[in-house]
Amino acid sequence: DTGVSQNPRHKITKRGQNVTFRCDPISEHNRLYWYRQTLGQGPEFLTYFQNEAQLEKSRLLSDRFSAERPKGSFSTLEIQRTEQGDSAMYLCASSLVLGGGAVGYTFGSGTRLTVV
C-alpha cells in the first residue's frame, strides 16, 4: 500500500464546468475525509465517510458539491458549475478508527483546483 493517492494533482477548469476528483485511501482504513484548504488558511472540513456511509457534511458543502464512496473503497468529490471561489487545494485523508478519535490521519498530496 503506497498511502493515500489523489488524482489529479492539478486541475484547471473554466467557471461553470463540472470537475471530479478521486481519492484512494489506505485499504485497511475505514474512515475517509475530504478537506479544503485555501491560501493562508488551515484545512476546512467538508465531509467524511465511515466505510461507504457518508456520516457528516459541513455547511461549507453547498448543493453543488457531492461526494461518494461506493463499496467503502475509493471516494470521488464532484463540484458542479464551478465558481472562482471553489479554487483551493482539496485534501483527502483516511484513518482507521475503531473507537475514539485519537488516531492520526494519513493525507494524500491533494488536488489543486484553479477555476478561471
Partner 1 sequence: ILNVEQSPQSLHVQEGDSTNFTCSFPSSNFYALHWYRWETAKSPEALFVMTLNGDEKKKGRISATLNTKEGYSYLYIKGSQPEDSATYLCAFYNNAGNMLTFGGGTRLMVKP
Q: Which is nearer to partner 1, 98 or 102 (CB)?
A: 102
Q: What is the smallest separation between the CB atom of 15 and partner 1, expressed in angstroms?
A: 26
Q: Which is nearer to partner 1, 25 or 82 (CB)?
A: 25
Phi first, then psi: give them for residue 72, nearest 5 degrees.
Answer: 65, 20
Q: Which is nearer to partner 1, 11 or 82 (CB)?
A: 11
CB atoms within 10 A of CB 98: 6
Q: Which is nearer to partner 1, 44 or 80 (CB)?
A: 44
Would you say 25 and 71 are in contact if contact means Cβ atoms under 8 Å apart? Answer: no
Q: Please report, to the nearest 10 degrees, the dihedral formed by the alpha carbons of residues 9, 63, 51, 25 taken in order.
A: 0
How, if at all, do strands 111-115 and 10-13 pair?
A: parallel
Binding site for partner 1 (CB under 8 A): 3-4, 33, 35, 40-45, 48, 55-56, 91, 93, 100-110
Q: What is the smallest separation between the CB atom of 33 and partner 1, expressed in angstroms?
A: 6
Q: What is the smallest separation between the CB atom of 89 and partner 1, expressed in angstroms?
A: 10
Comparing CA positions, the residue from 1, 20, 23, 28 lying closest to residue 107 is: 23
Q: What is the smallest separation between the CB atom of 95 and partner 1, expressed in angstroms?
A: 9
